[in-house]
Amino acid sequence: MARDRGIEHIEEITGDFLDIISKRIAKKGKVKILEAGCGHGVAMAGFVKRFGDKIEIIGFNLNKNHGTIDKMRTQSIAKEIFTEEQFAKIRNLPKIVYCDGSKKLPFKSNSFDFIYSRAAVYLFDNKVNFFEECNRILKKDGIARVAPGFWSLGTPPGNEGEPYGIEIYDNGIRTYPEKYFNKIKGVKLLLNKNHEELTLEIKKTKDMKFNLRFVASIDYNYIWYKWMGIKSIYSTELKFKPHWKQ
């Protein structure tokens, strides 16, 4: 179950992300980390276990049904990350806030050294807005690595099959999202070490612009009960106004 995956899963999907954090801690002494879609907080507990008081870590969920501090405590003890006595003594206990990842995040600009997400972005209505928000709240030299939750952000035009996450229309023609994102300064697409899952990396960049208009989202679960995830549809027509609205 995605919401109770531990820190080892972060290593699987984000490559050398933990090594980068370790080096930044060695350089700065302490870093601030955000997990988007932290679920039960098991991975955050793993971060505290590994890095101790050298980190401040915050996670967000859509609502309390997705995870709470009490659930994090229960899961951390059950998975033997901490004993009950050790958990009670944690000075930098992770925090969980509740918000919609598709909208403006409730954090100040230039707040975090690192952001990561394992299995949440595929459920966001407006994924690009989240990517832009990551850039906003990252500090200088900050890095975000997020797994969109799909093997591919979007299938090539005319090759629909399994559900995919993002659909982009450029001048009315569908374009491959990976190709579009690779042109954006500060954005890079990575494959994990097993080449089984895509990860999007965002490095803090001044005036990062995706230049996309959010058009609509489609929840696959409404289409078929066995499907999961939300397709986000975008257009490069930023100023166009539909004729029927004029």
146 dihedral zone (left: phi>0; alpha: psi -120 to 50; beta):
beta
Distance CA 117, CA 133 (A): 13
How many Å separate Cα 149 from the centre of its chain? 9
**7-14 and 17-28 helices, crossing angle to 10°:** 110
pLDDT digits (tens, 9 = 90+) for 42-101: 999 999 999 999 999 999 999 999 999 999 999 999 999 999 999 999 999 999 999 999
Distance CA 36, CA 109 (A): 16
82 close to 74: Cβ distance less than 8 angstroms:
no
pLDDT digits (tens, 9 = 90+) for 98-154: 999 999 999 999 999 999 998 899 999 999 999 999 999 999 999 999 987 655 555
**42-51 and 69-78 helices, crossing angle to 10°:** 70
96 close to 41: Cβ distance less than 8 angstroms:
yes
Q: How confident is the model at residue 207 (pLDDT cuts 50, 70, 90)?
A: confident
pLDDT of residue 215: 96
pLDDT of residue 225: 87
Partner residues linked to 31 by β-bridges:
55
Question: Going from the N-terminus, what domains does the chain have, and what CATH number goes with each?
Answer: 2-152+177-208 (3.40.50.150)
Three-class secondary structure of residue 7 per DSSP: helix
| Of 101, 113, 83, residue with least CA distance to 39 | 101
Distance CA 229, CA 193 (A): 24
